[in-house]
Structure 1
Amino acid sequence: MSPEQFRRHGREVIDWIADYYERLESLPVLSRVAPGEVRGGLPAEPPAVGQGFDGVLADLDRVIVPGLTHWQHPSFFAFFPASATGPSILGDLLASGLGVQGMLWATSPAATELETQMMDWLAQLLDLPAGFRSDSAGGGVLQHSASDAALVALVAALHRVSGGATETAGVATGQFCVYTSGQTHSSVEKACRIAGIGTAALRKLDVDPHTQAARPAHLAELLAADVAAGRTPALVVASVGATGTGALDPVAELAELAHRYGAWLHVDAAWAGVAAVCAELRWINAGVEQADSYCTNPHKWLLTNFDCTAFWVADRAALIGALSILPEYLRNTATESGEVFDYRDWQVPLGRRFRALKLWTVLRWYGAEGLQAHIRGHVELAREFASWVAADDRFELLAPHPLALVTFTLRAGDDADSATRELLAAVNASGAAYLTHTLVNGRFAIRMAIGSVLTERRHVRAAWQLICEQLPEA
């Protein structure tokens, strides 16, 4: 593709994306294709000769769009948001165009140093502890996702608690233990499997039935029991905004117990952490100064498209010690000087995309005030939605809702679970909105997660009206 062809087709692609956003609200939120339908619309064999780009855009409309669940739709209230904004899309396009591989400082100094600065900027915006900044013993790095953050936190924890032995001898089955709430994201269990300590190493903490937050007393019991049995506590994960209900664990109490037994304390604030751009919401940072690592996802609620997970450590030496391997072909003067960060030592893969570029474009475009307005708007919409639920005696709120996630169910006697399932299925089948579910104290509940960049009050109001209209007949 020549520069002139790229220029022409690039304009067509930008126009297509802009048109997509203009018509997005008219599309059903949840894809309605049957299994195999998308593949059935594609040729069985690859093209023998090259084809024009015009056909790609035509097939995008014909085959791909009908098979999409529209995460940017203003009535997407499922899971957690996955932000996409103009500044971020353009930043990602620039990164793709530059095509740099930032595994080492030497392979693109700008990629490394911009990332270091963006992590320091974001730490300032979120009022995180100074120990997480690059001019301390800690520092920050952009990961693919909070799952990667959980995994590297576990690997660093194993390195530290074993004195580095796990890098040569591996891990012994049953030796190390990990502790987290039953409300915590499943990525922690997956990290245990990948790290080789297995699901059996994971201890699930009981939660408070009202707040759904982890109970420190149960952690204390489990830690003491494991130590008495000759096992080694390695990692405790505290959730700030757990996936099911948005639960907020008591970080300081969990950290004190973790450190008492020599374990690493990781805070998973994947969704909720970015709310701390607002001064009045910085109470969610309570106890974070005691954490060994912390992560939050700009690609969820902070206007930055996937993938972009911010991960900080208080002691980068443990992380680098666990993950650094330096073959001859990667040796260079800058690395050996010890004056630079080589972010390939802070993550699982060697290769690195230039993710910092889109975070840079987002922070510059919106500024702190724009980010704050975005978060505050959604928090207020969630508060209003929760007030409608609370005022209707057919429904019941099942967990606190201080941010932008509301968890509720039907009051339908012995049939409450089945009636709530039926309601959720009807709402999603309508195509007008998309919500997901969870279990709260064993009860089936609907999650209303407000966070789409395009969501306005009218969309939240319409979702509530739809919920009421789709109520199963008594």
Structure 2
Amino acid sequence: MDAAEFRKRGKEMVDYIADYLEKIDKRQVFPDVEPGYLRPLIPDCAPQDPESFEDVFKDIEKIIMPGVTHWHSPYFFAYFPAASSFPSLLADMLCGGIGCVGFSWASSPACTELETVMLDWLGKMINLPDEFLAGKDGQGGGVIQGSASEATLVSLLVARTKTIRRVQSEKPELTEADIMGRLVAYASDQVSTWRHGFALYHLFSLLIVAFADSFLKLIIFFTVTIFFPFVFLALQFCATLGTTPCCSFDKLLELGPIC
């Protein structure tokens, strides 16, 4: 495919995507297929000779779409929207076209600096304290993560490290193993299940607070943490804003002062 054909096929793909999104409400939301449906429909090995773009394009409706869950359908009441706007789709095209790897400032200055500025925008939009913004004594600033799970994992690792360092500065006689055995994270029973796995993997306890009476139990748990510091060492409290099971929201204004 040369640049001329890319222009032609690109326009065709944009038209296909626009039609798909405009008519997505006409599609069945969840696919009516069984596990393994796809393998019999495609060659067992990669072809030695390339197929035409027309044939590959036909496979989208013939093979791919029958197994797609249409997340952006107005009848799909689950999870979250992602990259669903036309501007974000155009941005994906530009990112793919540039194709740089922004793992450091030197590898692509614009990547690093745009990420820094945009995350400051986000921080200001949600009224984060200035300490969370970049350029504040070198302590603030954010980094875009690849997924919500990855972002949660990073936050837990940071919380664990900061808690261990804080406790060791206050009680240098304690080893890291001593501290790890008393680390506790708090979360509602509506929190996503992958947080449980992260807790087990990183060797700390996760205390689940029942949804119905979470506020009362949270007070009790934090009271234990405050008055009996040799029992628990709280490293993180996970508030939920739109949970997967029922889209519930914790009361941040009430939970913040407790934390």
Q: TM-score of the superposition, structure 2-length normalised?
A: 0.84
One-letter code of the match for 1:129?
P
Q: 1:329-344 alignment to 2 at 5 Å?
A: none
Q: Indicate the SS of the match to 2:23.
A: helix
The structure that is strand-richer by fraction is: 1
Q: Could you tell me whether the CA contact under 8 Å between 1:226 and 1:233 is conserved in 2?
A: no
Q: 1:235 to 1:60 in 2, by over 3 A?
A: same
For 1:74, the equivalent position in structure 2 comes to: 74
Q: Could you tell me whether the CA contact under 8 Å between 2:102 and 2:111 is conserved in 1?
A: yes
Measured on the aligned residues, the alpha-carbon RMSD in Å equals 2.6
1:197 aligns to 2:203 (yes or no) = yes
Q: 1:52 to 1:189 in 2, by over 3 A?
A: same
Structure 1 CA distance for aligned equivalents of residues 69 and 215 of structure 2: 31
Q: 1:177 to 1:160 in 2, by over 3 A?
A: same
Q: 1:83 to 1:171 in 2, by over 3 A?
A: farther
Shift of 1:234: 1.8
One-letter code of the match for 1:163?
R
Shift of 1:52: 2.2
For 1:251, the equivalent position in structure 2 comes to: 252
Q: Could you tell me whether the CA contact under 8 Å between 1:176 and 1:233 is conserved in 2?
A: yes
Q: 1:251 to 1:223 in 2, by over 3 A?
A: farther
Give the one of 203, 208, 211 matched to 1:207. Answer: 211
Shift of 1:32: 0.9
Structure 1 CA distance for aligned equivalents of residues 37 and 236 of structure 2: 44
Shift of 1:255: 4.3
Q: TM-score of the superposition, structure 1-length normalised?
A: 0.48
Shift of 1:22: 3.1
The higher-RCO structure (CA 8 Å, 6+ apart) is: 1
One-letter code of the match for 1:206?
A
Give the one of 187, 202, 207 matched to 2:194. Answer: 187
Q: Could you tell me whether the CA contact under 8 Å between 2:219 and 2:258 is conserved in 1?
A: no
Q: 1:70 to 1:59 in 2, by over 3 A?
A: same
Shift of 1:3: 1.6
Q: Mark the runs of 5 or more structure 1 residues left unpaired by the alignment.
A: 259-474
One-letter code of the match for 2:117?
Q
Shift of 1:221: 4.7
Structure 1 CA distance for aligned equivalents of residues 10 and 244 of structure 2: 38
Q: 1:88 to 1:252 in 2, by over 3 A?
A: same
Shift of 1:253: 5.1
One-letter code of the match for 1:149?
A
1:232 aligns to 2:207 (yes or no) = no
Q: Could you tell me whether the CA contact under 8 Å between 2:164 and 2:176 is conserved in 1?
A: no
Structure 2 CA distance for aligned equivalents of residues 140 and 98 of structure 1: 23
Q: 1:199-348 alignment to 2 at 5 Å?
A: 201-209=205-213, 215-223=217-225, 227-229=229-231, 231-251=232-252, 254-258=255-259
One-letter code of the match for 1:65?
M
Q: Indicate the SS of the match to 1:236.
A: strand
Give the count of matched residue pairs: 249
Q: Indicate the SS of the match to 1:31.
A: coil
Q: Mark the runs of 5 or more structure 2 residues left unpaired by the alignment.
A: 169-174
Kindly provide the CA deviation profile for residues 153-173 of structure 1, in whole angstroms up to 9, marking residues without a partner as x: 1111111111288xxx97676
For 1:35, the equivalent position in structure 2 comes to: 35
Shift of 1:186: 2.1
Q: Could you tell me whether the CA contact under 8 Å between 2:31 and 2:68 is conserved in 1?
A: yes
Q: Indicate the SS of the match to 1:163.
A: helix
Q: Could you tell me whether the CA contact under 8 Å between 1:174 and 1:197 is conserved in 2?
A: yes
Shift of 1:252: 5.1
Q: 1:218 to 1:18 in 2, by over 3 A?
A: same
Q: 1:413-452 alignment to 2 at 5 Å?
A: none
Q: 1:74 to 1:95 in 2, by over 3 A?
A: same
Q: 1:81 to 1:215 in 2, by over 3 A?
A: farther
One-letter code of the match for 1:75?
Y
Q: Indicate the SS of the match to 1:59.
A: helix
One-letter code of the match for 2:101?
Q
Q: 1:83 to 1:104 in 2, by over 3 A?
A: closer
One-letter code of the match for 1:197?
L
Q: Could you tell me whether the CA contact under 8 Å between 1:223 and 1:233 is conserved in 2?
A: yes
Q: 1:243 to 1:223 in 2, by over 3 A?
A: farther
Q: Could you tell me whether the CA contact under 8 Å between 1:150 and 1:187 is conserved in 2?
A: no
One-letter code of the match for 1:148?
E
Identical-pair percentage: 33
Q: Could you tell me whether the CA contact under 8 Å between 1:101 and 1:108 is conserved in 2?
A: yes
1:153 aligns to 2:159 (yes or no) = no
One-letter code of the match for 2:181?
G
One-letter code of the match for 1:251?
L
Structure 1 CA distance for aligned equivalents of residues 252 and 21 of structure 2: 40
Shift of 1:94: 0.5
Structure 1 CA distance for aligned equivalents of residues 112 and 44 of structure 2: 42
